[in-house]
Structure 1
Amino acid sequence: MCFSCFRSPSTAGLSRRDALARACTLGLVLPFTAPALRAVCAAEQSGPAPTDLMSAIKDIIVQAKSPELAAYRVFDINAGDLPWTDLGLDAAQGQQVTFLLTGRMWLSREHDLWFNPGLIFHARTRGLRPMYIPMLNAGTMTASHDGPIEVARSAAEWASEDGVLQTPPEIYKKADVRITGVALLWRGDARVGIKSLLAQGDAGDLLASELARLERGRKLPAGWSNLLGFGGGQEVFSRDENGEITCDSAGSASIIERPLSIPLASGPRLGWRWKIDQLPSAAAEDQAPTHDYLSIGVKFEDGQDLTYIWSEHLPQGMVFRCPLANWKAIETHMVVRSGKAELGTWQAFERDIAADYSAHIGGPAKSISHVWLLAITPFQRRKGSCRYADIKISTADNTVLKV
């Protein structure tokens, strides 16, 4: 599920031709006239104004005189900036740096479609993988290497985990985006440093929210990892003491995956129990501007993927290709439950994966390569919440693999 974006053709001098080019390149097709769209978008803000954030954090730093703070940098990421930007801060491997962010990346101003900065912000050290993506507007990276800290923005626009840009530079630079941030480089534990600053106040509640996140210490379920370009999955998905995987998402985009090679000839069936407390879309999910959903799915060796969704608006049994251009050729969605009547209750599902692949994809794949969990909520910025239990794949010879 790519969540790349483009500017409205009516903003910042971007022509309709450029907007269409960006849409096709980055994977999002939006209508140019959609008056009803505003009604389904949330009205929350993306954080404090840049000048307010900078003023507040500078005042706090001066007053706190924190011995934990080794150095800090204020930075901007603007439309014309190509990745990556060296902040002029050198970190040692294992050293922590906290980022506080504000701003927006606009998909379409006329449709009130935009992304929070934490969704598209990336950081790394010494120009090497892994890339860090906070997902939230505050986050703390642990340096993986000795060397300079670099930052960039990307809405699923990387060609690889090395941070090489896939989007043509002339299109990338036409994004309607500004991110303002502060990087706080700590001598020791980031939690201790943040507490020392909080004693003098906060900046748009970013310090308090980051301290709370650090103290929660959430981790991805064992065996799962973030899909390339989708970081911060541990803030969306976690396994509780009962073994259930919880999912809570609002204005974010997370896909986590678990490698699992199973031949289609073995007759694999995907089974799971699902308790959905809140669906994230106020309209049909088969349109790009309202393509917010919760899902479980499988990826095949040929690169295709098939995800199963619960929709309030689309009929059960409906199958459709992803409405985002870059994903339309590789992603298929199937509605396995419809309506609101059974929300908040546990429901059991089972799908014959080989049969679904044959009926709705029909490619050359001979096996499953991954199981996916997806929580996509950036377009309408509404909350989606659910739980998964008893995820398993069984085969015709009665082999059962718990996921």
Structure 2
Amino acid sequence: MPASIGTREECMCFACLGLSSSAGKFSRRDVVLRASALGLVLPFASSALRPAQAAEQGAPPPADVVSGIKDIIAKARSPELLAAKAFEINGGDLPWTDLGLDAARGQQLTFLLNGKMWLSRDHDLWFSPGLVFHARTHGLQPMYNPMLDTGTMTVAHDGRIEVARSAAEWTSEDGTLGTPEDIYKKADVKITGIALLWRGDAAVGVKSLLAQGDVDGLLNSELARLQRGGKLPAGWSNLLGFGGGQEVFSQGADGEIICDTTGHVSIIERPLPLSLVSRPRLAWRWKIDQLPSVVAEDQAATHDYLSIGVKFEDGQDLTYIWSEHLPEGKVFRCPLPAWNAIETHMIVRSGKADLGSWKEQERDIAADYAAHIGGPAKAISKIWLLAVAPFQRRHGACRYADIKVTTDDKVVHKV
């Protein structure tokens, strides 16, 4: 996964994963070239994803979310609901789409989403709508990304609401697109949704609609999310383009950081500028209860993992992974396009015998950087926690504790 997203060349473009030939948007040559660029072994990817695909094929067809929610709104006549706007985001649409909905600072706006962003229909590779959906007040930051297929945004500015889709394709906090427009518009994606603007508390409003029913469990899911009131661990923030970290990472009562994800991506970061000359050593304890990959993680189509990482001042990053299938000590560049120029992965623990048990790790950051990256960086800039599970769409769960960086002068920086 990425280092910070800066120039267009650095931008990790998930849209570049668009391999679908079924939609008629790409020639067979396009598919082959894109697969080759990704390093995808497509028959292997298909085999790895077959259990998830079989389960989804046996599921009932998705409901018409927009029509269903509109019917509930008509029955509920909720005094809590100020306005409702249905919308659709398609592959050929450029960001951003004006909803025609004005909101005031502090108001709450709930989004209920349906659809998929296809990477390859032939190989059942896709992203859920919540992963790629973003909203903002016209031209202004911050952007809101729910990560889940429901979410509630607290409006940051007075003004018109806009929505867009992006798979890590922003170059700035205010939603500037980094992917070339011709590539962006080739994406095979259709997201339908409805935006609900509330008079007061969103939870009260959602409850008023739930009294008249639900559609695919979306209202119930959003009420549960609102009642959880998830917050990021103190001092941590979401990486640009990856919102919803509070739905994946949380602070445990005893100071642990809890990570739990199914089919989503979250990267959170905490600033820690330290010179490499000070010989910083990263130490942590972790307990992996469930790894999100059933196969080796060094292929793009199966690149699902849990990791702790370090970002360097030159934009490079190095993440430490526990893998069931890759051997301890293996180092590889990220298999995803563009990010393979800026990210390195190291397997620091292998196998499943120790899953469910607390294990201690320590790494000499400067030595690892020199051996496996060898760039011009003079310092580290941030510590990362990564939870990546959109490809096989499986469950991953772990806990981190006692994360700290110690320098040669014996100064301990607790993270």
TM-score above 0.5, yes or no: yes
Instruction: Classify the TM-score, shorter chain.
Output: over 0.9
C-alpha deviation, 1:10, in angstroms: 4.3
C-alpha deviation, 1:16, in angstroms: 4.0
Residue of 9, 25, 30 corresponding to 1:13: 25
Residue of 173, 178, 181 corresponding to 2:190: 178
CA distance in 2, matches of 1:9, 1:30: 15
CA displacement, residues 34-74 of structure 1 (integer Å, 9 cap, x when unaligned): 44243354555599867621222111101110000000011
Matches within 5 A, 1:205-284: 205-284=217-296
CA displacement, residues 202-232 of structure 1 (integer Å, 9 cap, x when unaligned): 1110001111111110100111111111110
Matches within 5 A, 1:4-403: 4=14, 5-19=17-31, 28-34=38-44, 35-39=46-50, 41=52, 43=54, 45=56, 52-403=64-415
Sort the Cα spacing of 1:120 and 1:48 in 2 relative to 1 into closer, same or farther, 3 A: farther
Residue type matched to 1:39 in 2? Answer: R
CA displacement, residues 129-170 of structure 1 (integer Å, 9 cap, x when unaligned): 111000000000011100011000011111222211111111
Partner of 2:143, secondary structure, is strand
Cα RMSD after superposing both structures: 1.9
CA distance in 1, matches of 2:123, 2:210: 37
Sort the Cα spacing of 1:315 and 1:156 in 2 relative to 1 into closer, same or farther, 3 A: same
Is the 1:50–1:180 contact (alpha carbons within 8 Å) kept by the matching residues of 2?
no
C-alpha deviation, 1:20, in angstroms: 6.4
CA distance in 1, matches of 2:13, 2:203: 31
Partner of 2:392, secondary structure, is coil
CA distance in 1, matches of 2:29, 2:184: 14
Relative to the length of structure 2, the TM-score reads 0.93
CA distance in 2, matches of 1:298, 1:375: 14
CA distance in 1, matches of 2:62, 2:51: 27
Unaligned runs of 5+ in 2: 2-11
Residue type matched to 1:295 in 2? Answer: S
In structure 1, the partner of 2:9 is none
Partner of 2:141, secondary structure, is strand
Sort the Cα spacing of 1:365 and 1:271 in 2 relative to 1 into closer, same or farther, 3 A: same
CA distance in 1, matches of 2:138, 2:61: 30
Identity percentage of aligned residues: 70
Is the 1:41–1:379 contact (alpha carbons within 8 Å) kept by the matching residues of 2?
no
Partner of 2:142, secondary structure, is strand
Sort the Cα spacing of 1:345 and 1:50 in 2 relative to 1 into closer, same or farther, 3 A: closer
Give the count of matched residue pairs.
Answer: 401
CA distance in 2, matches of 1:128, 1:21: 37
CA displacement, residues 320-344 of structure 1 (integer Å, 9 cap, x when unaligned): 1101121111101000000000000
CA displacement, residues 364-395 of structure 1 (integer Å, 9 cap, x when unaligned): 11101000000000000000000000000001
Is the 1:311–1:337 contact (alpha carbons within 8 Å) kept by the matching residues of 2?
yes
Is the 2:63–2:216 contact (alpha carbons within 8 Å) kept by the matching residues of 1?
no
Is the 2:49–2:392 contact (alpha carbons within 8 Å) kept by the matching residues of 1?
no
CA distance in 2, matches of 1:84, 1:293: 31
Partner of 1:191, secondary structure, is helix
Sort the Cα spacing of 1:51 and 1:284 in 2 relative to 1 into closer, same or farther, 3 A: closer
Residue type matched to 1:131 in 2? Answer: M
Unaligned runs of 5+ in 1: none
The farther-off stretch of 266-275 and 38-47 is 38-47
Is the 1:218–1:234 contact (alpha carbons within 8 Å) kept by the matching residues of 2?
yes
Partner of 1:128, secondary structure, is coil
